[in-house]
Amino acid sequence: MVANKQIHTLVITGGHGFEQEPFWQMFNGFENFSYDTVAFPDAFKYLNVEAAKKYDALVFYDMWQEITADQQTAYLELLNQGKPIVYLHHALISFQDWDEFDRIVGGVWEEGQGTVKHNVQYTIQIADPDHPATKGMQDFEIEDETYGNFSANPDVHALLKADHPESAPVIGWTHRYANSQIVYIQLGHDRLAYGNPGYRKLVDQGIRWVVAAEN
Ligand SMILES: [Zn+2]
């Protein structure tokens, strides 16, 4: 992969609040990186083959729920054509009534079963240190919100693991859906994550990996 390639992304939010300033500061700190932002429901204007063309990757940090049948069709066409995507944190919990979304994101969050806990200090284990998304990384400490009792799909390639009673065991992965390379990173609730060097590196390298894998 070409580490210094200039990439242009669309960062999609909506449906869940977050600390705006430190979140955008994280992206502003990435080298050779530029982005546009849009929130749902306006984001649907970009979730089709034609409108997404100008972006090397889509980065989802939303928790939007409503999606029409036509919007699902356009989203699936985009994935069939091939669009690199990184889903962050609560993006796992988007589109709870759209069954296909579990296969797209690569994991399952069940309403009423998944658990969240704020401000947990724990160790993130790099499950595959040879992977381009996690290369050069070692296990690191973070204070962040854990998600418990959700599951990664069996066909994903694990990138991150945790060994903590409040956390699911596999908390970051990559997989392909249709012709699209996908990364999911569970971390990232607030400024404690956005400002963590390990988290920043994961997001930066995760985006670069999905783009590189597509080309
Ligand atoms: Zn959160």
* Cβ count near 113 (within 10 Å): 11
pLDDT of residue 122: 98
Report which residue type is found at 103.
R
**CA 215 to ligand 1 centroid distance, Å:** 32
d(CA 115, CA 129): 28
Give ∠ CA 54-60-64 in degrees, rounded to 5.
Answer: 120
pLDDT of residue 1: 47
Residue by residue, DSSP assigns the chain as --TT--EEEEEEEESS---HHHHHHHHHTSTTEEEEEEETTGGGGGSSHHHHTT-SEEEEEE------HHHHHHHHHHHHH---EEEEGGGGGS-TT-THHHHHHTEE--TTT-EEEEEEEEEEEES-TTSTTTTT---EEEEEEEEES-EE-TTSEEEEE---TTS-SEEEEEEEETTEEEEEE---SSHHHHT-HHHHHHHHHHHHHHHHHH-
**CA 146 to ligand 1 centroid distance, Å:** 8
Task: Kindly give, in sequence order, each residue whose CB lies less than 8 Å from that of residue 69, ignoring residues fewer than 6 positions away.
Answer: none
Q: What is the pTM of this model?
A: 0.97
Report which residue type is found at 156.
V
pLDDT of residue 214: 81
Q: What is the pLDDT along the chain (215 residues), one digit of tens a residue?
A: 445 789 999 999 999 999 999 999 999 999 999 999 999 999 999 999 999 999 999 999 999 999 999 999 999 999 999 999 999 999 999 999 999 999 999 999 998 999 999 999 999 999 999 999 999 999 999 999 999 999 999 999 999 999 999 999 999 999 999 999 999 999 999 999 999 999 999 999 999 999 999 86
Cis peptide before 197 (omega within 30 of 0): no
Task: Kindly give, in sequence order, each residue whose CB lies less than 8 Å from that of residue 49, ignoring residues fewer than 6 positions away.
Answer: 74, 77, 78, 81
**CA 51 to ligand 1 centroid distance, Å:** 29
**CA 50 to ligand 1 centroid distance, Å:** 32
**CA 21 to ligand 1 centroid distance, Å:** 16
Q: Where are the domains of the chain?
A: 7-214
Q: Yes or no: is domain 7-214 CATH 3.50.50.60?
A: no
**CA 199 to ligand 1 centroid distance, Å:** 14
**CA 149 to ligand 1 centroid distance, Å:** 15
**CA 112 to ligand 1 centroid distance, Å:** 16
